[in-house]
Structure 1
């Protein structure tokens, strides 16, 4: 056995066990000598021998080099080293320790100004901005040091009285703001959006700050920049009044590390400074992590020296918070750990499309319990929580990102956490209303909350338990009363049964007649109201007209009234310039998802439209569109004399990328990514292009054997089949599986005019239509001898475009008769019209289904798209969103004579 090593005895501690396992690892690797091991690990034989000697814990770097040389599991041994370090290295001093030179996870407060370093340059800039302007906002990522900058940096520099607050402290209420001082600093301004869902209160709070006579400084998390942009007055104020707080540079980080230590009469190893700067430089949100790691390193100092070994023992920047949190949590008793879990879950506000954030918790939300007090005290002493007189909050959001156990809790049951949060708010509201019975839970909300309380780990507060108990008792009382009423009603029914049997014949006839009369009356009233609604719409009162047509539909529910509701909804839709312009029936990117949009409102006024910069020129020439796998969007136009390909990735500023030599009558991109492009030139010549680079398309092949002029072309959804229509209404099908050698695989002579065609997703069905407005379905099982399946009659003019839904069970069509229709193809031998929406269709060249089964999108040759909703419930809901004034009772009775007053959007 090499000198320095000794056998492991029973009762040896974790350090000797660690050393023995290192020696065992060396034996399993082949029993290298320490000289051989040193050559592999690039450390001296003595250093490696000491590492396995068991006298002291080796550094993390030496341990990992030893493990690599023995071909061990580095990640496993790194975790093992941190566990042993936590047990054998010096533990944090007790509560009577000297004032720490670092704040840990907590932000530096105004009382910590003497310990705050590293932000002199940005503070000078901020002070100059405040002097020059009345309103300034400091934006920065979570962990960038905004709160410390404002509290410990800015406040001590400015003379005069200052108010420092957060939206949560004043409950996001404008009347609680103290605007009488020289300066008000509103830190954590994002709480305006996370703690308050009332948009009116939000606007009042923001307007109060904007109109205040004092100077105002905001501290805002950078990922809430878009929320600020939703308030026009705030946007205007921030145009010249915003400061972006980025990460610190190496020299600033050096001041943060060294200056507090010097002030505390400590020295910092040069190796530790270099390591900290290397670990922190360029890392977003790293300041609280670094401050915590420094605090833990200071607690593990050797005498007055902060060492690299102490930093590694603390877990470094990446592991210090998680190590502290985990050590503190596991030191609690079982019941206390359950309480701690609930405390952390209640202290976290779940993000919706953004990161989870911390939440200030009223102390009253937690039970008055000895164990709760112990848990809060232990967590606060570890600097994981901040306790005020009446509130509790997580010291910094870095804990939410860095502690794996907490991240797992939050990810396990987010729906349950939302239920808990809603229960807390409901119980608080109930209590604030004097425990009003009308504020209790009922129905599904009560069932959901009770079911959540029965889950493992769920814990409610005393107020929440009282709220649920009262809710269940109220429900039981209502059920008991309902049962008594039902029993009495049954007795009465039994008593009257004989009389009812005798009169049943007369009653049935009377009821039938009454129902028939009511149906006919309702239909008559509904159609009268529908006609009146059209007159109101013509007169410009669209909101009242919408309510009238909705009420008419609900009164009678006939198909024509349903179609009027859908058409009324469509009439309010705007044409949009968008990257989701359609190409031969596809509004989707190659992976089947909706194409990202960059929409610009359309205006019929050319001057307005060109100022927006979204129109392809010349107008009314767009014939196709495609999106590549890299999400580049391209449209093509058929022009005289030269056709062009446009890059419309930026719908506001389309750019031509290729110009064809000579006239092109038809252009179509394959819908699967836009690699294949087909053009029709010289009337009957169809070329197949490789458009992978739209700026330099290359000819791959030519369709041969087409005897007549080609009037239109269309791809199948998978891009493998191309359909061509000639001037004799013959449809030919071509396989483009090998674009260099296209071959004809089928032919359809419909016998009627054919000007547009669509191929079903399964390529077994084809729909054709033309000038007479009828649509025909054909079975392509044998593409050389297709069989007609059905004939669909409805359009009164030429059909402009056809498009199948992705599952093939529905077909959308549009015509020059200014209608868009949806057809049910569940039984494709007996298709039926599901609905008709009236609206402008001039210039439409393509139609497709959108994100939902009942949403249709059309593309126009002027480069715009329009959405058509066929779900009447969705249409009604969206129409009601714009209703700011319900139909009056007087207006109702003027139109709905004899019908009880029921506002349609109430």
Structure 2
């Protein structure tokens, strides 16, 4: 409604922009010269997809030579000529990329060197060698040094790359299992709890690098928290530990380290001092980074720098910043003394940079910068001042736009850094090197200390659910009041505190006032007790009511705070707490939270195992789940009902279980163990499985890591730690017999095996990073198909074939997932060479780039039954879903699935494709329910969503093969896709809308074509009219008049056009085009009475038009000019008196259009979106407005009083990219949204229905035990 996400449209090509766009423009011109054949027509003639051919001319990247020559061949071009052009464009693009590479600075400035900067990190080789040797001898090592001595860079750019570099030789140390970097922060034991244990099931060490260890004393105020963190680190000193710890500590905190006896003992002979660099080391640090970037440092500059830095304790960051600024002032390829002096020299460069940024700020921004910078400093207590990382919320001082602008400027100047969601000073040297900052700190030192205590107290109060007992009183309140309140009992000074801090101080002051009033009132009551005895009962009742209200507030606050805390780490538990809070009171925030919850992937936790859960598999009917664990048990779970365990656990001679699988008919279950045991059961009675035959002992008694049935169930494949692949004949499951000899599949261990759907092909995953394909239908056992494919840079843990067999997914210990095109497995490879014809070997061809969203080893991947989705499970405790409808361009679906508290080991899809099972190191098994309200059947971004007037049909338009898809949403249950999408456009579809009678759909495309479709039979829609050149450059928006006789369109040509659509098969233009806009028109909407048309344009205006006489439409009133950027969306309220507009300036505005000729703004602009607003839609009752934005959010607004409209609750979240369109269903209890993340979402706004969905998908009520763990001290309340 009123917008299609103007910001999403493909931009025009600019041949002057560079070789890629120029080459794309030339390809388009070639296609135009032969009549512009459709990409589908072209794809039918060459072995490349529609997407590959359309992307070749998109101008985003240079196509491959093969795709180029195919494109040219279809269009009749000269292959030799176009190969010459391609090579010239490729060379020019490479040269430009090289120039960009050369333009990267070789120095880091005040910021530390990271592992990726190792190639520029010089001068510390000897110190790195000593540290490397010491860390190999000691399991706990500390690096001490003064501020500015380069400790952080030493660890990150020196030690860590050394650890990650493979060593050779007999005495070479083993590669780490993992290298983790962290800084303590305010609550180190809590924050980093899941990172302090070594990687399980490996003999390799996990290295824990703790940078800025002094934060343990400057930021962590809780001694118990501090000691708990140190105690966890000290477990590394145990000789049997698989953890190694290296900490970097500022030298002036040595005494604080000695306060912990265990730490003192550990550091006795395990410390390294990072002292000043020698003159020769300094020379390397100056000259060699420049040489690595083909730059020269003037000899006189080198000498001068060495002289100055030698006499400057802690001068390394100052030198690095001075060199960075000198590089900016370089002459050609030379860093000169003149440039150094222009930058300000060693001590002046930081000052000059900081003062230049500060001087360019406005007065309000400068004051905001002062307050932000002071929040990033921890005043010393007997030690020098230190920097202090702060979360973004701590910098919310009432002006989000101003804060963002100031932070952007300071970060661009490298004075601040963003790191893991926090902001901090780039280096502590800034505190001493910048006199202005130093002066601010000295002037406000006492106030800073008061603020640090206040901030911590407010955070604790919030965590405790705003408990009254946690508020300030006495001397602490007096100090905070004096520092931050207007007067003795006044409100906090605006802009000095965050909302939470301000709320905490206000509540503390209010409680103090109440206490004073109560004391005064008590005296009066005692004096008049005899006279007003009867009134005391009233007073008591009121006091009791007040106390109860305060207790209710505290309970509600604790529940909602806990829900918010868990929202990113355990979505299901957070949602259950939202339900609990809703039982206490209903708020807009809870209603929108439940709407978001109902659209998320939620899980129910099964009791699981007594040790690591290692494997899961669904029975083919989906009613039973088998899970295996290191407790030696195979457990069967009823997934069709209660989720209870069925019968007694099954066992394999006491071995830890490593793999489970069901046969294709569901009557046979196989499990394999760590001692080489393999056991089969008859599961026709799922509560009492019956063993089949005797256990098999195989794989030389080593772990069997994976098992897989052939699709017909006649063959079982097993792999193990002996490096072999074995096949078994299951013609008689009670007597499995080997088929041929074992095949050696990996030099170390085979981690997984999977059958292709054809039943003849197998894939195996190797510990050495390789994947192999095998022929598995012969009597001689497995036969390799070509060579091995080097698939990952570390062990491959999982392989899975897509249901059509064309794609293979692999998961690796290198934290990545990869997709591969599977060759024709006829034994010769796809090119008949016998090697598969791939540079990778093995015939597998990589599809796209590795998927890198996980942050730890990925242990399992599986395709959904329809092949459109891939799920990956990793040691980072998350599952990620991927849209792989086009496997060459996979996209993430939604946020990672959270709930497990330790790494995941295995996952499995249920046969319905809507259920996932996972298990892992936290011993649990989880069932995930994938919401049917998220539609993922797209391979390209969506541009529009719409409901028909009956609410029976739903349409979504996308650039996906230039089509519009339809769903039946009129029946109970999930949306049902209709079999025939609306195809016929030859360019991306940018907009779509239903006619008022629901029998016609209009759509507009990027090539300027307007189409109408007859959907009176939704299952058999047919094309109606086609208007080839409705708008030059593209049709951006369409809208039907309420009577259905007229259609309005807006386009790239800056015009609005009206069309007579009474006969959908014969569409004719009406009147002259509406002109007046001076840029693209991306939004049109008719008023409910059909008399007025609203339009929105990139010229930053909205306009109103009188269209009562559609042959002679005319503008009404002046343009609406309140937006500061593109007007992307327009929509009329149902009664027609209010117009909503949305703009790229991040605002929504309401207008009184009762008299369209005198339209006027209503109330203040609606703010909250953090990116441009792309679409707006009114609910049918007119009381709610929805908006979608570039910030990936959908927002709801209460517009029941348009002059005082306000946000309703919190944003609806789930999209991962721009929300391009929003539309209410006719009933008003459902809202649809479309996104550039390739999904459409259907949100339920009915709170009862949302609550029911959450309860159904999370296992119902919280148990009393879970309640007590989460909310100790609060009385239990049923949640569902």
In proportion to residue count, which structure has more helix? 1
Please report the TM-score for the alignment, with normalisation by the length of structure 2. 0.31
Please report the TM-score for the alignment, with normalisation by the length of structure 1. 0.43
In proportion to residue count, which structure has more strand? 2
